[in-house]
Amino acid sequence: MTDVVRVEPALNLGPGTLHWRYAGEVRGYLLLVKAGLLQLMHPGLGAGVQYHSDFFNEPWERVLRSVPEIQGVTFDYPHGDVTARRIRDFHHHIKGTDAHGRRYHALDPETYFWAHATIFDAFLQMIDLYDHPMSDAEKERLYQEGCVAYRAYGVSDRVMPADWPGFERWFDTMCRERLEVTPTAERLVQFAKEPPATFPLVPPLLYTLARKPTAKPLWWLSVGTLPPVVREKIGERWTDRDERWHRRIRQVIQKSWPLLPARVRYTARARAAYARVGAGPLG
């Protein structure tokens, strides 16, 4: 069963919100593999990608096409709700039955909210790990903003927890009880360990040189951000030594990030919004 509801335009996630401040940071790409893996481990979402996309032939291209549009829910202010409905409407036809006979639909409330939840979880973790440890009040504020973003899609919010503690409990339950190693999740792990021959964000020659030497460290960095129960499900070990080194790398990123130019730190969608509105972290 799917629920698409008619709602009034959502409150905007414009200047003054944590989304406006942080959602355009390129550091978010460090959590892409984590978010993608959690998405694809959901049976309904994994099946939708398996049967209705070219994921197996162009995995990174698919992800990188999606990210700017999702950022548009924030950075197309004050019309982010229009962008959200456009994204939702791309998913009406994604439905069917998976290899186990289970029916799926992209707009099923749990499935659609899980996609949003994994992105929100990665967003919060980006701030918490790579910028500064967030207080409980900041997490609650960010979560409530995330609820605004989700309601903009016009999909039923009946599975959405009311507050941050409730979300934490729900997310943990989903990871423990609902996620599985679907064919698309297994393929994503393979892609992460043995990257495809091309990557759209990097010049071909540079990518050819860097592809194999960087694959293992980048996968390791992603593994360190996964919930422990998910690491167990995909068969990855994580030691105290791994955690110590991961913490050191996070500290290096925290300290060096402000030294980089804005064109490197923020996505094009965010920079354009800051310039158009005249408000944002760029001054």
- Amino acid type, 190: Q
3-state secondary structure of 4: strand
Alpha helices per DSSP H over the chain = 18-22, 32-40, 43-52, 59-75, 80-89, 109-130, 136-151, 164-177, 183-193, 204-223, 228-233, 240-256, 262-265, 268-277
| pLDDT band, very low/low/confident/very high, at 203 (cuts 50, 70, 90) | confident
- Whether the per-residue pLDDT at 38 is higher than 50: the answer is yes
DSSP 134: P
Give the count of alpha carbons within 13 A of 11, CB side only. 11
- Would you state the pLDDT for residue 176? 98
- Whether the per-residue pLDDT at 10 is higher than 90: the answer is no
Stretch 159-178: mean pLDDT: 98
Rounded-to-integer distance, Cα 37 and Cα 273, Å? 29
Question: What distance lies between CA 20 and its chain's CA centroid?
Answer: 16
| pLDDT band, very low/low/confident/very high, at 11 (cuts 50, 70, 90) | low
Q: What is the pLDDT of residues 67-81, one digit of tens each?
A: 899 999 999 999 999
Q: What is the pLDDT of residues 212-245, one digit of tens each?
A: 888 899 999 999 999 999 999 999 999 999 999 9
| pLDDT band, very low/low/confident/very high, at 47 (cuts 50, 70, 90) | very high
Compare 150 and 66 and report the one with higher pLDDT: 150
Q: CA quadruple 74, 60, 189, 184: dihedral positive or negative?
A: positive
Neighbouring CB atoms inside 10 A of 107's CB total: 22
Percent of the chain with pLDDT over 70: 94
3-state secondary structure of 95: strand
Q: CA quadruple 35, 40, 45, 51: dihedral positive or negative?
A: positive
Stretch 130-138: mean pLDDT: 97
Residue with tokens 């698409």: 4
